[in-house]
Chain A
Amino acid sequence: MVRCPKRECPIVNMLEIDNLNVWFGKHRDRVDAVKGASFIIGQGESFGLVGESGSGKSTILRAITGLAPLWSGRMIVEGQPLDHQRRKTFFKTVQMVFQDPYASLHPRHSVDQVLGETLHLHGFSDIDARVVKLLDDVGLGQKFRFRYPHQLSGGQRQRVAIARALAPEPHLLLLDEPTSALDVSVQAEILNLLADLRASRGLTYLMVSHDLSVVGHMCDRLAVMKDGEIVEVLTVDALRATKASHPYSQHLLEASL
């Protein structure tokens, strides 16, 4: 399933997670959200993380981006091991799209400000031209450029959030249930947009979802999570052939059919 097997090209894996533990709180209040998670995502691959709410799938994304600071284990992005401090170069490689587009855009910043500030922070100089290009890329016209979030629909907001994540030209995009807060009709549009962007930009996706059909549509391989542990990693083909071996995966599959 890995598009670029290690043998053929020298490029290392996009993301390696090895025995990752993430927890919140200290001492007696400690809650272990992720326990001993391990998986590998190759260059250009689209990988899904599936599980019910509270199973720790979003927490893995937050640990990768540095938003969940308490973790142990190994995380390697493009061959570079991560420590607890994220550098600017990291954010040029890895970006994230949040679950709720109603919460992920600053209510007082226009689309232009959101994208302009992001581009400025990443040190681009031709900001105007890039904002125009980004809006076109995500299927929003120029008329949306100076709008504020409250003047946009949920799908339009999510497109802005995707444009923001694409602004630094990352290689790995973390998608935290990018369509779960949207209407069913809009979900398909956003999923198609994401699939097109991956094809045109050669992106690698790590997508979190509780919806097996979304993951089946978007991903090559997936990991099933339960109570903070990865119970099984399987390919989408195996999923379609209902070859899941772990009872929990079978249970999930039955529930979604």
Chain B
Amino acid sequence: MAETQTLRQWLLTDTPSSRRHAKLSALYQGWLSFRANTMAMIGLWILVVLVLVAIAAPLIAPHDPFVQSLGDRLAPLGTEGHVLGTDSLGRDILSRLIYGARITLYIVALVALIAPVAGLLVGTVAGYVGGWTDTVLMRITDIFLAFPRLVLALAFVAALGAGIENAVLAISLTAWPPYARIARAETLTIRTSDYISAIKLQGAGPLRIITKHIWPLCISSLIVRVTLDMAGIILAAAGLGFLGLGAQPPSPEWGAMISEGRRFILDHWWVATMPGLAIFTVSLAFNLLGDGLRDVLDPKAGE
């Protein structure tokens, strides 16, 4: 039997022979159901292409994104050598978009690493421990929520200095409270469930219960929320760039490119539109991916 078994059959068996086998099998089945979702696959492919473009930027960009050529300024779409035209300083927009993918991914990755993790930590501890800990942590969360997002980020960047890293920190600082709220709400429903009581009866401590039993159930909804928030995060970074507190001028950050092109939007629409389309496409890709992930990760939808 084992000789004629293909890899696919081995992965789809309902009687796994080892722990590793069972894990691989579960992963493969998740992948199969994700693959069946066409829109999610489109989102995934866009993001894969974005990552590849970011990695290979020096190889595929037709021009140096920083070289100015005032003679070619504001060239329209389809100009010889500048497929997507040039901006007000004669820089090739396509090349700037390609290099800008790196910055976008950098922002997205950093925020996605900081904000949900902080929110998960605060939310699950508050929800599980309860009492005074809950009150204190949730009031802190409320304070952060009540602050206007951009003002808090402004204050933070003003204190630490302008730059993309500080912009990321500022965005994360304002982005974690909703995650904490979600994680706490989920924890409150999970903590009274029988399976948590059951593991308590085996003598498990709070640390084990939170990390091994509550986190796995919260993480899926957080991942979905993060992918759905990505569009907002990219735009918030662009907003900070627009105010001169995010990416600094020569940097080809997409948001900064839009704010530069804004001045010419009536006569030279492509200067602002091209980076806008790029942000739109990536945001859409993240949303599609998030939808697909929700279907795969939701434990209640299993089977």
Q: Are A98 and B197 in contact (CB under 8 A)?
A: yes
Q: Are B198 and A104 closer than 8 Å at their CB atoms?
A: yes
Annotate A153-190 by CB proximity to B: 1 below 8 A, 0 otherwise: 00000000100100110000000000000000000000
| A203 shortest CB reach to chain B, Å | 16
B149 to chain A, nearest CB (A): 33
Question: In residues 111-140 of chain A, which contact B (Cβ within 8 Å)?
Answer: 112, 117-118, 121-122
Residue A46 at the chain B interface, CB threshold 8 Å: no
B14–A150 CB distance below 8 A: no
Q: Which residue of B lies closest to A168 (CB)?
A: B202
Q: Is the interface of B mostly helix, strand, loop or mixed?
A: helix
Contact flag A108-B216 (CB < 8 Å), given A151-B14, A164-B198: yes
Tell me if B114 counts as interface (CB < 8 A to partner A): no
Whether B194 contacts A104 by the Cβ 8 Å rule is: yes
Looking at the complex, which of B16-24, B75-83, B102-110, B237-245 is the stretch in contact with chain A?
A: B16-24
Q: Is A100 an interface residue (CB 8 A)?
A: yes
Of the listed residues A96, A146, A168, the one surrounded by the most CB atoms of chain B closer than 10 A to its CB is A146
B201/A65 in contact, CB under 8 A = yes
Check A103–B193 contact: CB distance below 8 A: yes
Instruction: Mark B194-225 against chain A: 1 for CB-CB distance below 8 A, else 0.
Output: 11011111111000100011001100000000
A13 within 8 A of B: no
Q: Among A91, A142, A151, which residue has its beta carbon within 8 angstroms of that of B203? A: A91
* B195→A103 contact, CB < 8 A: yes
Q: Which residues of B contact A66 (CB under 8 A)?
A: 200
On chain A, which size bracket covers the interface? Answer: 35 or more
Chain A residues with CB under 8 Å of B216's CB are 108
In the complex the two chains form, is A103's CB within 8 Å of B22's CB?
no
Cβ 8 A contact of A121, one of B194, B204, B302 = B204
Determine the chain B residues whose CB is within 8 A of the CB of A110 once the complex forms. 22
Instruction: Judge whether A112 and B22 touch: CB under 8 Å.
Output: yes
When chains A and B are docked, how far (Å) is the Cα of A142 from the Cα of B18?
11
Docked complex Cα distance between A167 and B201 (Å): 12
B5 in the interface (beta carbon within 8 A): no
The answer to whether B22 touches A146, judged by C-beta atoms less than 8 angstroms apart, is yes
Closest to A142 in B: B15
* Proximity string of chain A (92-108) to chain B, C-beta cutoff 8 Å, 1 when within and 0 when not: 00011011100111111
A108 to B30, CA, bound (A): 13
Mark interface residues in B251-267 (1 if CB within 8 Å of A CB, else 0). Answer: 00000000000000000
Q: Is the CB of B302 within 8 A of A150?
A: yes
Taking the complex as formed, is B300 at the interface, i.e. its CB lies under 8 A from any CB of chain A? yes
A99, A106, A107, A145, most chain B CB atoms within 10 A: A106
Q: What's the minimum C-beta distance from A226 to chain B, rounded to whole angstroms? A: 26
Bound: A110/B23 CA distance, A: 10
Is the beta-carbon distance between B217 and A91 smaller than 8 angstroms? no
User: How many angstroms between the C-alpha atoms of A67 and B199 in the bound complex?
Assistant: 11
- The proximity string for B residues 1-28 relative to A, scoring 1 for CB distances below 8 Å and 0 otherwise, is 0000000000000111011011001100
A67 and B200 in contact (CB under 8 A), knowing A106-B195, A112-B22, A146-B22? yes
Is B302 a contact of A148 with CB atoms below 8 Å? Answer: yes
Asked if A98 meets B194 with Cβ closer than 8 Å, knowing A88-B203, A110-B22, the reply is yes
Judging by beta carbons under 8 Å apart, are B213 and A106 in contact?
Answer: yes
Residues on B with beta carbons closer than 8 Å to the beta carbon of A167: 202
Is A100 a contact of B194 with CB atoms below 8 Å? yes
CB <8 Å contact, B300 and A107:
yes
Contact partner, A151, options B21, B217, B303, Cβ 8 Å = B303
Residue A143 at the B interface, CB < 8 A?
A: yes
What residues of A have a CB within 8 angstroms of the CB of B249 in the complex? none
What residues on B are CB-neighbors of A67 within 8 Å?
197, 200-201
Chain B residue nearest to A97 (CB atoms) is B198
In the bound assembly, the distance between CA atoms of A211 and B178 in angstroms comes to 47
The 10 A-B residue pairs with the shortest CB-CB distance in the complex, in nearest-first order: A146-B22, A104-B194, A143-B15, A146-B16, A103-B194, A107-B299, A88-B203, A106-B195, A150-B302, A150-B303
Q: A104-B194, A117-B199, A143-B15 are in contact. List 18 more A-B contacts (CB 8 A).
A: A66-B200, A67-B201, A88-B203, A95-B201, A104-B195, A104-B198, A107-B217, A110-B22, A112-B19, A117-B202, A121-B203, A145-B16, A146-B18, A146-B25, A148-B26, A150-B299, A150-B302, A151-B14
A residues with a Cβ closer than 8 A to B are 65-67, 88, 91, 95-96, 98-100, 103-110, 112, 117-118, 121-122, 142-143, 145-148, 150-151, 161, 164, 167-168
Q: What are 30 A-B contacts with C-beta separation under 8 Å?
A: A66-B200, A67-B201, A91-B201, A91-B202, A91-B203, A96-B201, A99-B194, A100-B194, A103-B194, A104-B194, A104-B195, A104-B198, A105-B198, A106-B213, A107-B299, A107-B302, A108-B216, A108-B217, A108-B299, A109-B213, A117-B199, A118-B199, A121-B202, A121-B204, A143-B15, A146-B18, A146-B22, A150-B299, A150-B302, A150-B303
